[in-house]
A and B are shown apart, each in its own frame.
Chain A
């Protein structure tokens, strides 16, 4: 890398203008509506109402539930997807006969749309005639309302999301593992390192940047979860599985557009905070020599 090559500052103007036109301005205009009286019944002559909508969102009893659920979805997804992605990638990186076929099989769920995955898992977790309950019935276990109570419904949604996303994590982690030079491993082996030592001292540190990408993507997409919840439970039973995404949808469908944007604004602040915090901590884990 030529460290002396420093580009002139004016070259940053073009990307800055593009970023401003296509991101900053539309977002700002969009969020402006959170401070107006925009509703289905009032789409013109909008008036500024200050923080009224933001305050009503913060004071809503549904927001704490949605906030906690959103963190659960993001947390469970991130941990499970990262760990499973790592484990499967480690296995698929070894000399196995069916390696290529297995890589394809594990990636297939990632190709399915959320709607399809939601419908499949709804059929699996349904109380009446659900696949899981049919299996339990064979062992004399009574039907369980998987989607009928908060704990099990959140669990079912998380399982569906993990199933759908683990393929991506495998592929990304696998790419990271394959970029680790075999010279390091061979040298370590000659020095008498154990499998665990080779993994923990060589492979893991070298692929940490890749794992971090996985974690960040899982975290952000986990926080933004909407479609699976909407298809599987609609935020129910009651409001038990609501996320910020479904809250926005509810406000929008009730014709309360400004409140919907206000929920979005609060959610965006949360998303940015979490991403910044993660970026700050994750940089310490990366070891790039």
Chain B
């Protein structure tokens, strides 16, 4: 009797375990019709008749007010729900890629439309919007970022920020430093700040991506558009681009002079507000909308309006440069269980009334031609002439196959720390790019 009872209980545990292990993800849909139906029923009951779409997005990006606004507007109107799965900001792309590779593809996915998008097989996974009505409403300056292999693969729905070097106007005024117009003037301004005990630039190099070395490459690519084609064809290396060496040399020299302070190797993005707000550092490479959406104006001495924008000087362009907006794309899984609902959401986002409501009062340049409720940043309004004159489209990151902001930043940090030479640094960045390029081309 006791033995039978043990066997019965063991059998029940095994059954329960096997049932619990049963998948019901999109990748299993073919064989798991029952469980898929059950999931849908559960979704329906939760949503009060609608369905629940899954959305993967960088957690920080997901939290943006206009994203939350448009999602809640659609949920209210359609009766459907969006299960927002925020991915760890520092590893969002890696996590998403792992999920995609294992067949865990959400109904909606948000990604910066750069060259890394290739990893996500856009043609196989995402809805083609080339013939959508809203395509004609996208600003011309933004449109290239929505295109993959001549097809529109997502809706640009993001802040079109202006990136540059942000400086503390009050500190500059107190020290009688005028806004630099050349690389030499910029370096002199840094020297003056240093002489007065102020760290010139806050560089969150420990996170590697905030080194943002693509800013230095945009003017180079604008002047030599053939470089992109040659790099992507394996006919050119970074070592053969003189400006790339100049950039590395400038980073090394700036670190040696103390422009980035003493702790740049362990400085992280989390402390930007604190360091700028207390006046510990006077400048930072960033984008203007950050001061409206992320900068903590309430906790420190200096508020967002105390900062102005000026060109970035990184040793490659004497007059400096600004970078135009990098926009996120909202893409729909064309093989998912809820394709129509996902498409409906994106079409909803593209309606002028809806995006104007979502972006009402948001500091950004217009992404849509019909966008009227956004406001330009105070930094842009104050220095409009310089920005409009020197702004360049983001080109290094979206166009160079294998461009890796993180790995490149790591190599530059090693260079600045004195662990490797300029030549070794260039080789390290290039080896990583070439490895990716080769992995795409291997036959």
Contact = CB atoms under 8 A, between A and B. Distances in A.
Given A238-B411, A238-B413, A240-B419, A256 B435 contact: yes
A201 interface: no
Interface string A21-49: 00000000000000001011111000101
A145 interface: yes
B439 A258 contact: yes
A149 interface: yes
A41 B439 CA distance: 8
B177 interface: no
Contacts of A37: 439, 442-443
Interface string B408-443: 001101100101000010011001100110111011
A194 interface: no
B420 to A, nearest CB: 8
Contacts of A235: 410
A159 interface: no
Contacts of A239: 410-411, 414
The listed residue with most B CB atoms (<10 A of its CB), out of A128, A148, A254, is: A254
B206 A41 contact: no
A240 B431 contact: no
A10 B266 CA distance: 60
A249 B91 CA distance: 11
Interface in A31-78: 37, 39-43, 47, 49, 52, 56, 60-62
Contacts of A52: 442
B39 to A, nearest CB: 26
A224 to B, nearest CB: 19
Contact of A237 (B97, B101, B118, B205): B205
B266 A126 contact: yes
B116 interface: yes
A252 interface: yes
B439 to A, nearest CB: 4
B407 A250 contact: yes
A252 B120 CA distance: 13
Of residues A238, A239, A253, which shows the largest number of chain B Cβ atoms within 10 Å of its Cβ? A238
Nearest to B416: A238
B271 A145 contact: no
Chain A residues touching B, majority SS = loop
Interface residues on A, range: 35 or more
B266 A146 contact: yes
Contact of A56 (B98, B101, B435): B435
Interface string A136-148: 0000000101111
Interface in B73-101: 90-91, 93-94, 97-98, 101
Given A61-B428, A127-B267, A255 B119 contact: yes
B253 interface: no
A209 interface: no
A234 interface: yes
A48 B121 CA distance: 21
B379 interface: no
A255 B266 contact: no
A119 to B, nearest CB: 12
B299 interface: no
Contacts of B274: 128
A153 to B, nearest CB: 9
A214 interface: no
A236 B404 contact: no
B119 A238 contact: no
A203 interface: no
A259 interface: yes
Contacts of B267: 127-128
Contacts of B262: 145
Nearest to A122: B268
Nearest to A239: B410
A127 B266 CA distance: 7
A149 B440 contact: no
A242 to B, nearest CB: 9
A230 to B, nearest CB: 9
Contacts of B116: 255
B432 A254 contact: yes
A52 B440 CA distance: 14
A48 to B, nearest CB: 10
B426 to A, nearest CB: 12
Interface in A247-289: 249-250, 252-259
Contacts of A127: 263, 266-267
Contacts of B205: 237
B265 interface: yes
B208 interface: yes
B439 A145 contact: no
Interface string A161-197: 0000000000000000000000000000000000000
10 contacts: A37-B442, A39-B442, A47-B443, A61-B428, A127-B263, A128-B267, A237-B206, A252-B97, A254-B404, A254-B439
Given A127-B267, A236-B208, A249-B94, 19 more contacts: A40-B118, A41-B118, A41-B121, A41-B439, A42-B440, A43-B121, A56-B435, A61-B424, A126-B266, A128-B267, A148-B206, A148-B265, A236-B413, A237-B266, A238-B413, A238-B419, A252-B97, A254-B402, A254-B432
